[in-house]
Amino acid sequence: MCLSQVGKLLYLSLMFVIFCLTVAGTFTPHWRDLYLDGESDAVGHIGLKGGCDMSGDNAAPYDQYCTVWNNNKPKYENTVKAFLYAAMAIEVLAMGWVMLSCLAFCYHSRFMHALTGWSALILMCLAVAVIAYLSKREKTLQLNGVTSYLTVKIGYSFDLIAAATACSIASIVLGGMTSWLSDQPFC
């Protein structure tokens, strides 16, 4: 039982990291970075929340791209956002569940059995968001010939969500181990 307490603290810490990665990935503006062909500095970026922004030094002539983008935002991004919001809500519930288990000494092991389920739900939400984004990415990067002079690459915000997805896989393993340890009589 006391080893499961350590597992519970590790799970809570990992869940907090996953939550921070999900929040940062969702609300940062670099889901796509825009580069002039042949240049290494980005002239703009596109986020899920903020839309298109051409704030680079050489961006003034390329504001047309943002106008076209903002007028034709892809609908699948709403699906991606919905699953990311659902993942954040479940992450908060999972952290609350672990904290609540600290108060339930008599039913400690029963609380620990739910950790794997919380992690699996989070993984499903994050995986659906990642797959939905990647499956439609090619169709929306090049908008009606406007980007003939721009190269669009996936930005760091997507990488944060991918890292959260990988960490959620680890949380399933950690949740399962913690659940198993909570049923063991040794300490």
Domains of the chain: 2-178 (1.20.140.150)
58 — alpha (psi -120 to 50), left (phi > 0) or beta? alpha
Q: How far apart are CA 132 and CA 187, in angstroms?
A: 44
Predicted local distance difference test score (pLDDT) of residue 105: 63
Predicted local distance difference test score (pLDDT) of residue 147: 53
Predicted local distance difference test score (pLDDT) of residue 123: 98
Amino acid at 112: M
DSSP-assigned letter for residue 114: T
Measuring CA to CA, how many Å separate 164 from each of 45, 161, 167? Answer: 21, 5, 5
155 has a pLDDT exceeding 80:
yes
Q: Residue 61: how many CB atoms within 10 A of its CB?
A: 11
50 has a pLDDT exceeding 90:
no
| Mean pLDDT across the chain | 83
* 147 touches 105 (CB < 8 A): no
Contacts of 176 (CB under 8 A, 6+ apart): 115, 116
Predicted local distance difference test score (pLDDT) of residue 167: 98
Q: How far apart are CA 147 and CA 132, in angstroms?
A: 22
The arithmetic mean of pLDDT across residues 130-158, rounded, is: 74
Instruction: Return the sign of the alpha-carbon dihedral for residues 80, 29, 25, 97.
Output: negative
In percent, the amount of the chain with pLDDT more than 70 equals 83
- Choose between 72 and 128: higher pLDDT: 128
- Whole-model pTM: value is 0.87
Predicted local distance difference test score (pLDDT) of residue 6: 87
- Choose between 31 and 35: higher pLDDT: 31
Which pLDDT band holds residue 24 (cuts at 50, 70, 90)? Answer: very high
Mind listing the pLDDT tens digit for each residue in 52-63? 777 655 555 566
